[in-house]
């Protein structure tokens, strides 16, 4: 059913169609609309049987999901930003225990400074938590990925994080095709837990494991993630067969066939990039784009194959490893090791700073002119940081950068002390 729908509501619809039995929710923007939508369905009885648990923290949200999943229920939660960090310990636990929980991360920046707007700092910080990470490009894909995520999670007995750009997707109204219950039911089989807390067949879940076996447990998690690299494309094609549209998969190339320059990105920014790619293609520039749909497990071979013939790769990413550089960029370099490809990390869009076509045009022009270094910062206000850095060099007690910068920008009135 086609409908003009808010991204969050589209996700809520998809999740509801997957018949989760336990949903735990703690409010944090910009994820709130999703669980609000689910709460309505549970309260109205449209989603039943389902327990909607309003927990007291994200840590509890993930913990309730762990308990529910271990007891054999399909469990779902959603979070963002600080909330994801607050549940970090439980994320590792869920993946370590192999519990197929599905969670939406409405991507948002991490404080301090506190900031509610979109970037990928949150999910990137948990890239090694053992969860599968899928990144949605559009609201339709966000919706579709959730349906695929439950199937993937339960096949592998691993938790899956569906990353959806906060506000940009969650709060945007777009036309989406909402799947019907019968379609989802046909696609997603009932949850058959690999391990379960059951008085009829008691087991001990969550043993303490020492040096004699910990390593092997971790290796087995790795092996499962590698297994996912086969399953994700298969599930995406099964999805396409069932629903008639392509969504998900590991990577998706856009006009990369003869591209000398390829722009790599995750999530919704790909749409903007593709618009600029189209413009440049019209100008005869051999440029393309590569969307990484699944960042964990990392589809090393697929990325290498997609980029191997490009001489230049620009990695545009909404998070970074401070003190080093791009995170996705590092992974891309790993995929291209030994190949004569120059990789340029570009950090962009942090804390919700818009990534405009204009800026991208300028960026790509620089790249094509070989003016782009290995690490650059899109639309960073150089003058502001320069002045602040100068002030520090001048000595004295500079105080917090953030406040100084805000003062500089006139956002915070100067105060007398």
> CA dihedral defined by 266, 269, 270, 271, rounded to 10 degrees?
150
Q: Which of 200, 140, 130, 201 is nearest to 11 (CA)?
A: 140
Under the criterion CB under 8 A, does residue 160 sit at the interface with other proteins? no
The three-state DSSP-derived secondary structure of 80-135 is CHHHHHHCHHHHHHHHHHCCCCEEEEEECCCCCCCCCCCCCHHHHHCCCCCCEEEE
Under the criterion CB under 8 A, does residue 97 sit at the interface with other proteins? yes
Under the criterion CB under 8 A, does residue 66 sit at the interface with other proteins? yes
By DSSP bridging, strand 287-292 and strand 251-254 are antiparallel
Under the criterion CB under 8 A, does residue 21 sit at the interface with other proteins? yes
Under the criterion CB under 8 A, does residue 180 sit at the interface with other proteins? no
Shortest CB 64 distance to other proteins, Å = 4
Rg (CA), the chain: 22
Q: What is d(CA 82, CA 243) in angstroms, rounded to the nearest whole number? A: 35
306, two tokens: 């997609």
Shortest CB 75 distance to other proteins, Å = 7
- Residues 197-236, mask of contacts with other proteins (x by CB under 8 A): xxx--xxxxxxxxx-xxx-xx--x----------------
Q: Which of 283, 331, 295, 290 is nearest to 310 (CA)?
A: 290
Q: Which of 180, 336, 320 is nearest to 262 (CA)?
A: 336
Q: Which of 407, 133, 171 is nearest to 296 (CA)?
A: 133
Under the criterion CB under 8 A, does residue 65 sit at the interface with other proteins? yes
Q: Which residues pair with 405 in a beta bridge?
A: none
The DSSP letter of residue 337 is T
Contact window for other proteins (CB under 8 A) among 94-102, 131-139, 335-343, 406-414: 94-102
Under the criterion CB under 8 A, does residue 59 sit at the interface with other proteins? yes
Under the criterion CB under 8 A, does residue 303 sit at the interface with other proteins? no
Degrees to nearest 5, angle at CA 126 with 88 and 326? 150
Under the criterion CB under 8 A, does residue 39 sit at the interface with other proteins? no
Contact window for other proteins (CB under 8 A) among 93-101, 169-177, 277-285, 357-365: 93-101
35, two tokens: 């669980």
Contact window for other proteins (CB under 8 A) among 53-61, 140-148, 285-293, 371-379: 53-61
Under the criterion CB under 8 A, does residue 85 sit at the interface with other proteins? no
Q: Which of 29, 32, 39, 53 binds other proteins (CB under 8 A)?
A: 53
Do the beta carbons of residue 163 and residue 293 sit within 8 Å?
no
Shortest CB 157 distance to other proteins, Å = 7
Indicate the residue among 86 and 320 with the shorter CB distance to other proteins: 86
Under the criterion CB under 8 A, does residue 82 sit at the interface with other proteins? no
Q: Name the residues that contact other proteins, by CB under 8 A.
A: 21-22, 24, 49-51, 53-57, 59-60, 63-73, 75, 89-90, 93, 96-98, 157, 194-195, 197-199, 202-210, 212-214, 216-217, 220
């Amino acid at each position: 059913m086609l409908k003009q729908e808010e991204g969050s509501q589209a996700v809520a619809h998809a999740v509801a169609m997957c018949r989760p039995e336990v949903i735990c929710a703690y409010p944090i923007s910009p994820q709130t609309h999703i669980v609000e939508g689910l709460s309505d369905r549970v309260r109205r009885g449209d989603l039943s049987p389902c327990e909607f648990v309003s927990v007291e923290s994200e840590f509890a949200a993930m913990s309730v999901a762990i308990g529910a999943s271990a007891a054999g229920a399909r469990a779902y939660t959603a979070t963002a930003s600080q909330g994801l960090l607050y549940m970090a310990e439980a994320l590792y636990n869920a993946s370590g225990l192999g519990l197929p929980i599905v969670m939406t991360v409405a991507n948002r920046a991490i404080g301090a400074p506190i900031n509610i707007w979109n970037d990928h700092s949150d999910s990137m910080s948990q890239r090694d938590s053992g969860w599968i990470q899928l990144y949605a490009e559009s609201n339709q894909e966000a919706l579709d990925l959730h349906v695929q995520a439950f199937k993937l999670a339960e096949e592998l007995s691993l938790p899956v994080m569906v990353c959806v750009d906060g506000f940009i997707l969650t709060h945007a109204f777009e036309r989406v095709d909402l799947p019907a219950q019968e379609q989802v039911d046909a696609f997603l089989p009932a949850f058959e837990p690999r391990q379960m807390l059951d008085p009829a067949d008691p087991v001990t879940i969550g043993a303490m494991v020492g040096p004699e076996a910990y390593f092997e447990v971790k290796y087995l998690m790795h092996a499962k993630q590698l297994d996912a690299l086969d399953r994700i494309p298969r599930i995406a094609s099964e999805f396409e067969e069932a629903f008639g549209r392509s969504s998900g998969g590991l990577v998706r190339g856009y006009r990369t066939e003869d591209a000398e320059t390829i722009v790599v990105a995750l999530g919704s920014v790909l749409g903007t990039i593709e618009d600029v790619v189209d413009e440049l293609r019209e100008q005869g520039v051999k440029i393309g784009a590569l969307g990484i749909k699944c960042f964990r497990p990392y589809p090393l071979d697929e990325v290498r194959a997609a980029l191997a013939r490009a001489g230049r790769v620009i990695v545009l990413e909404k998070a970074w490893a401070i003190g080093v550089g791009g995170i996705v960029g590092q992974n891309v370099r790993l995929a291209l090791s030994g190949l004569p490809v120059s990789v340029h990390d570009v950090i962009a869009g942090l804390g919700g700073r818009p990534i405009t076509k204009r800026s991208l045009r300028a960026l790509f022009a620089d790249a094509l002119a070989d003016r782009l270094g290995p690490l650059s910062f899109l639309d960073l206000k150089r003058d502001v940081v320069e002045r602040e850095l100068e002030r520090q060099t001048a000595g004295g007690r500079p105080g917090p950068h953030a406040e100084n910068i805000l003062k500089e920008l006139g956002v915070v009135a100067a105060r007398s002390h």
